[in-house]
Structure 1
Amino acid sequence: MLKAMSGKMCSSSSILQAQKLVDQLQIEACMERFKISLTAADLVRYCQGHRRSDPLITGISSSSNPFKDKKTCVLL
């Protein structure tokens, strides 16, 4: 069950992990790449165009906040 690899003993699980890593790296190597300068400029334009509706910038009104506690807990 143990195999020699580069002078070290490796278990089958580490071989499987290494194969998964190689497969993932091969997938990533085949992906189409975008020029960072174009992508960054597009991102800046998008953020500037949507900043008025961005809750991280403008905040959320307490009446429309779905995460606001509906009731308060009072301990006596």
Structure 2
Amino acid sequence: MSGKVCSNNSVMQARRTVEQLRVEASMERIKISTAAAQLVQYCQEHSRSDPLLTGISASSNPFKDKKTCVLL
């Protein structure tokens, strides 16, 4: 009985895998050069608001310590 359950389970898993592969194969893809050009354009358009490039002002930094540490 357990052999049937194991076999049935592996058949269902194989069907799910095949269905997933069919979905992935039917997806419309764009060329890498087009995607890269779009990514570069997006980065250039948004570079002024990127905190990694422009930095974060001390007044708006949420991670800045509220108090300084004082040792006695």
* Shorter-chain TM-score range: 0.5 to 0.7
Residue 31 (structure 1) aligned with residue 27 (structure 2)? yes
Q: TM-score, normalised by structure 1?
A: 0.61
Q: How many residues get paired?
A: 69
Looking at secondary structure, tell me which structure has more helix per residue: 2
Q: TM-score, normalised by structure 2?
A: 0.63
Q: CA RMSD in A?
A: 3.1
Task: Answer whether contact 2:58 2:64 (CA < 8 A) is retained.
Answer: no
Question: Structure 1 residue 52: deviation in Å?
Answer: 1.3
**Unpaired runs of 5+ in structure 2?**
none
**Unpaired runs of 5+ in structure 1?**
4-8
**Higher RCO, Cα 8 Å, sep 6+:** 1
Equivalent pairs: percent with the same residue? Answer: 57
